[in-house]
Amino acid sequence: MQAHAQTDLQKHFKNCNLPGSITIYDLKNNKWTYSDEKDASRATVPASTFKIINSLIALEEGVIKDENEVMKWDGVQRDISPWNADTDMKNAYKNSTVWFYQELARQIGKDKYAAYLKKCTYGNQKLTSAIDRFWLDGSLAISPKNQVEFLKSFYEEKLPFSKRSYEIVKRIMLQEVPENATYELRAKTGWGKVEAQDIGWWVGYVEKKDNVYFFATRVQKPIEITNENFMDCRKEITKKVLTDLNILP
């Protein structure tokens, strides 16, 4: 397996004034590309990128029927307006609705999470903090390289989930299909706050006719430092790098 350091790819992080890295795996050529190989192996909280595996587990355990089953809003007003309504999984995934997945987590329970995370070799598998917080600001941590390894196993359907669960989650992950349909992009953002740091993720994969490219982008900044582009830069950096590498047009 080859690993190619692409130091010039770090320029996009510098342009956003954010430290971070991108890790890419080319399936057809079995090739890894890192903008920062050391950072690619450093684990941090997955935040809402955990919604990928969380959705699979919830479907597999039957705590939610499908992506269209509506869960009643608990009535608590939150800062993000789409969260203040009854919602289903496809919209909870799209809007990163935390309370929706927290309720699923309470129904799933730690023992089942522990078993799935072990079988999926997902992150450090530590579930020592609260059942509805461990992926947000708690004990669970995952590296960009491990994110990509998980996504590859997910794409190839080599994890302990049914065909139906894979199909549903792949549906809700779909973010982009251009008019000429030259690729499909499936992904998930994440934003966590741990030890006075904002941690921003964008992970997913680009499926083309002849190949699949998996990516995990992570940016960080101290919480007290304001950067209005923090949320947008996760995607902007990724797309610029994927374009540089001729993965995206």
Instruction: Give the residue numbers annotated as catalytic, written as ranges.
Output: 48
User: CA 23, CA 138: separation in Å to the nearest integer?
Assistant: 24
Q: What angle do CA 225, 231, 234 make, to 5 degrees?
A: 110
φ, ψ (nearest 5 deg) of residue 158? -105, 10
8 Å CB contact between 243 and 12: no
Q: What are phi and psi of 65, to 5 degrees?
A: -70, -50
First to last CA, the chain: 26
Determine the Cα–Cα distance for residues 69 and 219; give it in Å rounded to an integer. 33
Q: How far apart are CA 71 and CA 177, in angstroms?
A: 28
For residue 198, CA distances in Å to 59, 131, 192, 231 come to 30, 21, 6, 10
Count of beta carbons in the 10 Å neighbourhood of residue 35: 24
* DSSP for 68-80, written as a single string: T-EE-------SS
